[in-house]
Structure formats: structure tokens, C-alpha cells
Amino acid sequence: MNIPFVRYNNLGFITSSALILIACISLLFKGLNLGQEFTGGIALQLKYEQKAELPKIRSSLSKIENVDFKVNIFGSDNEVKITFQSDSELNITVDTVKNQLEEDNYLGEVVMEATIFPQIGEELRDKGGIAILVAMLVILVYIIFRFQIKFGYGAITALFHDVLIILGIFSVFGLDFDLSVLAAILAIVGYSLNDSIVVSDRIRENFLDENKKGSSEVLINDSLNQVFARTIITSFTTLLVLISLLVAGGEDLRNFSLALAIGVVIGSYSSIFIVVKVLLATNLSKKDMEKPKNEPEESYSLD
């Protein structure tokens, strides 16, 4: 296999730049469609003896003014989850919903009811953002000590690239951004890092191999071709699981599995094009791979 990755690196960089620009504009002017965990609101889970009639429930709840309800099947066909965002004074509560459904003679068994205040949602949002930033900082430190600082620049750039594009997609299409999506982003940070480490490790091995001749571009391109099959197989098998989860996982797992699926594709792409673009921009050379005298000679491959 001899795919000229380096030759098309600028095309990949232009594509990524355009996607990030769109993502930033959308996040700046449109923002994210934050889920109930972040904005606060009310959730009610009902169970019926037979299959729940969603149109009947929506018709009943539409009689309550100034509230936008979401009614979805939850688990089985006879279980329903109702969510909506109330105001800070909680003028509309779970009892409002139960009373309306009872009035229309369609109140099932109440399985769960919960109220989430906006202050709790803001705390979750802030802590989630801090968690992502701390993870990236720790990753940068690890890469610097494990490889070389130029690889650290590439890995962190790829992580910011992946996170921004995922956030941009959710912003552009108005998809719900809830705690499950935040968890998916943290998982993608780890997945993307793993791909970046595999690529970086192979590049370092080839740069340290005295039998390997050629320019930095040639050695980097050879390294990418060596790990490309591994990247495709890993991403493909992971996507099979995520697509199954997306199709059969139900409404509550839909955005979670979608974010993971997008992250797997973007993460594999960034480990090839973004990491390499940074390494080329920082003029990575064999001299950068020279080890200090006190460093062991062994080299370990993650591939």
C-alpha cells in the first residue's frame, strides 16, 4: 500500500479549516441545543398496560399553554417519558401534567418523576467543560514525555479539532446536547488520542531506524501507510457496534451513539491529516528523535 497521504495533506487541512470555521460560527451565533440536564426541567415516566398512544398523550398535553413537551417511547412500547422545561418559579410541575392526563382519562402508572433546577444544570455544564480541558492538558503532558513536544502539539490540535467539529455538527443541526453526548465527547478524546499515539509511535520508529532513508515527508508517508489498514479495521468494527446502537438503542441513546460514531470517523481522519500537518509545519526531523544519553534504547510499538 502506497497512498500519498502527505501529498493530499493540504486538501485535508483546508477541509478541516472550513468545517471548524462553520462550527465556530454556528456555536457563536446559534449555540448548542442544551438538554434538560443543563437547562433544568421536569421529567415524568409513565407505564401503560397496553401500547402507549403517543398522539393521544401529545394532544392532551397540548392543552397546557406555553410549554413545549417531548413525548418519547422509553424502553418498551408501553412506557413513555415526558420531558419539558419549566420556568424558574416552577409554575408548571409534574402535578400539572398528571392532572391534565388524568382529566383526559389517560394517566398511566407513574414510574418516575424528577425536577432538575437550572442551577444544577449550569454546574454540570461547567464541570463537564473543565473535565474536557483537564483531560487535554494531561494528554499534552503525557505525549511530551512519551514522545516529543512536536507530537504533543499535533495530538492536542487533533483533539481540539475533533471536539469542535462534533460540537459544530450538534449546533448546526440543532441536535440535543445532553450529558450522554458530553460523555461521548470524553470517550472520543480517548479514542482520538489512541489513534494519534499509534501514528506518532510508528513515525518515531521509522525516524529512529537507521535503515530508513528519505526525507521527513517520505518517512511520515511510509508510517501512515503502515498503520492505515489497522486504523480502517479498528474504526470499521467500532462503527458496526455504534450503528447497531444508533438503530436499536432507542431515543435516549441516539445522540450518544451518533456523537461517538461521528467522533470515530473524525478521530481517525485527524490522526492522519491533522497530526501529520502539525508535524510537517513544525519541521519534524530525525534530529528531533535523538534520545538523551540516559534514555533506554528499547522502542515499543502500540500497533
pLDDT score at 122: 67
pLDDT score at 259: 93
From residue 159, alpha-carbon distances to 61, 155, 194, 257 in Å are 43, 6, 11, 19
Contact 275, 156 (CB under 8 A): no
Domains identified in the chain and CATH numbers: 9-34+120-289 (1.20.1640.10), 41-116 (3.30.70.100)
CA distance 270 to 179: 24
pLDDT score at 28: 93
3-state secondary structure of 282: coil
CA distance 16 to 297: 37
Q: Which three cell numbers stand for residue 117?
A: 433546577
pLDDT score at 90: 63
pLDDT score at 167: 93
Flag residues of the chain having pLDDT under 50.
Answer: 292-303
pLDDT score at 19: 94
From residue 14, alpha-carbon distances to 142, 184, 261 in Å are 29, 26, 23
pLDDT score at 294: 47
CA distance 54 to 56: 5
In this prediction the pTM is 0.78
pLDDT score at 94: 83
From residue 116, alpha-carbon distances to 62, 120, 135, 251 in Å are 22, 7, 27, 20
3-state secondary structure of 294: coil
